[in-house]
Structure 1
Amino acid sequence: MMRQTSNLTGKHMAAIFVGGFAVVIAVNLTMATMAVESFHGTVVDNSYVASQHYNGWLKQAAASKALGWQAVPHRRASDGRVVVETIAVPAGASITGTAERPLGAREATPLTFSPAGKARWVSDQPLAPGRWQLRMAIRAEGKAWAGESALP
């Protein structure tokens, strides 16, 4: 038996070369498309101006922590409303919040909460299904607390 050998010609090398570049270009285009479609905008409009407020934000966070107030939100399965369970928050407090989508197109829903008894507060409207990031503000007795939590 005679064994047939194949010769690697210039046409074969050109095909390998073009095929390799085609794979690299396809992967780059796919990754660029995914990056552009998942980017929902800037975190801050001007990072220099935001940096000037950074120490103030740290001071506000320390003041919130020093109050000892805690707020644990969860979404009620029956109607989609957000329930916030609070610890050490004075009676007569007011709670407001903004729910934002952490990924994809920016969607923000402002929420206000009404007391529901036993240190519980219920949102005025339901949230659509999906993941949300909830930023809350509690005001009572001339003091302010701010915090945020993920809602799966």
Structure 2
Amino acid sequence: MTSERSFRKPPRRPAVRPLADLVAALVDPMLARKAGLTSGLVAAWPEIAGPRLAAGTRPEKLIWAARRSDTDPFEPATLVVACEGASALRLQHEAGELLQRIDAFFGYHAVGRLKIVQKALPAPAPSRKPRLADIGEQGRQTIAEATARIEDPRLRAALERFGHTVLGRNRAGD
């Protein structure tokens, strides 16, 4: 006696998406409406501006020229950048190179000039990286003994760094 069963496919679950994609989907429309920016530009600013400029600057908004008709030529935007004190002079000096990096980020000549606005920027968030205590000679010897038989030098070095971190965190909590 054979019974016919209909095999149903299990219900499809939505694909797992990175949290950054979900947040960008929510934040990008607000940034575009208020400042003409994308969260991608704001998030990539430290890489675009470089460490020296990123510490004292922040992109505020993109100002696009109004187009009267479809036949008007494309006008690149003006990027308003907020900066503090001495960063304004550095930003002004490196404006040409920064504009090239911004255009490389967008993939086309999107920004034609910078408008510098001096204002206080919020203090950078404190580092959340835990402090590590010195593990001492005994800790280094323990790690060396534990990793002595590992042949691959890159793996051995990675495990030694991991051991230093684990022991340093444990000792810092004592």
Which interval holds the TM-score relative to the shorter structure? Answer: under 0.3
TM-score, normalised to structure 2, is: 0.21
Superposition TM-score, scaled by structure 1 size: 0.23
Structure in which a larger fraction of residues adopt helix: 2
